[in-house]
Amino acid sequence: MPDDDTDFVPAKSGRTLNVIGVHLYAEDPEGRVLLGLRHPDSAYQGGSWHFLAGHCEQESAVACLIREAYEEGGLVIDPADVEFAHVVHLRDAPGRRPRMQLIFRVSELKSTPEVREPDKCLAWRWWPPDALPDPLVPYARAAIEGIRAGRTYTELGW
C-alpha cells in the first residue's frame, strides 16, 4: 500500500473519489491466513499486521493483485486461481479519502512468501484465523471475519 498524501487531496471536480485497494487473502493447507508485519515507519498503521496489499494503478484489480504479490512477497499467482472474496468500504479518518478495499482469495500460491520490500514489510507469517495477531489493521480483521462468516461486504467508519 503506497504511503503518500493522495488520501488528503480532493478530486479536481470537487468530489471525493474512493481509493481502490487490492488485498491478498491466502490460506495455507492448515487454514492459516497470510499476513505481513508493516514497517514501523509506514504512514498507515506502522507496526501492524496486514494483508499483502496495494493500490490499483492503470490496471485491473486482478492484475494489481498479481503485480503486488510478486513485488512485495515474491509470490507467483495464476489469474485462474484468483476469486473475489470480500470488499470493505472504509472511511477511517476525517479528511482522508474513502477506500474501497477489494479482497481476493487465491486458491493456490505457486511460491513461498518472502520479504522483498523491507522498507514496507518486515515479515510474512501464517496465522490461525481464530488467533489473529495484535495489532492487526482493523479492516483486515473485519474482512477475515466477514470471509469466515460467508459475507462479501463490510462497511466501516460511515
Q: Any idea where the domains of the chain sit in the sequence?
A: 15-156
Q: C-alpha grid cell for residue 39?
A: 514497517
Beta bridge partner(s), residue 88: 101, 154
The predicted-structure confidence for 124-143, as pLDDT tens digits, reads as follows 999 999 999 999 999 999 99
DSSP bridge partners of 34: 126
Predicted TM-score of the model (pTM): 0.89
Whether the per-residue pLDDT at 153 is higher than 90: the answer is yes
Give pLDDT, residue 10: 55
Any residues with CB less than 8 A from the CB of 53 and at least 6 apart, and which?
1, 21, 22, 23, 24, 68, 101
Q: Which pLDDT tens digit goes with each residue over 2-45?
A: 444 455 555 566 788 899 999 999 999 999 999 999 999 988 89
Residue 56: CB atoms within 10 Å? 18
What CA–CA distance (Å, rounded) separates 78 from 125? 21
pLDDT of residue 93: 81
For 70-122, the pLDDT digits (tens) are: 999 999 999 999 999 999 999 988 888 999 999 999 988 889 999 999 999 99
Paired strand residues for 153? 87
Query: What is the predicted pLDDT for the residue at 2?
Result: 41
Task: Report yes or no: 133 and 49 within 8 Å, Cβ to Cβ.
Answer: yes
- 15-156: CATH, from 3.90.79.10, 3.10.20.30, 3.30.1240.10, 3.90.480.20: 3.90.79.10
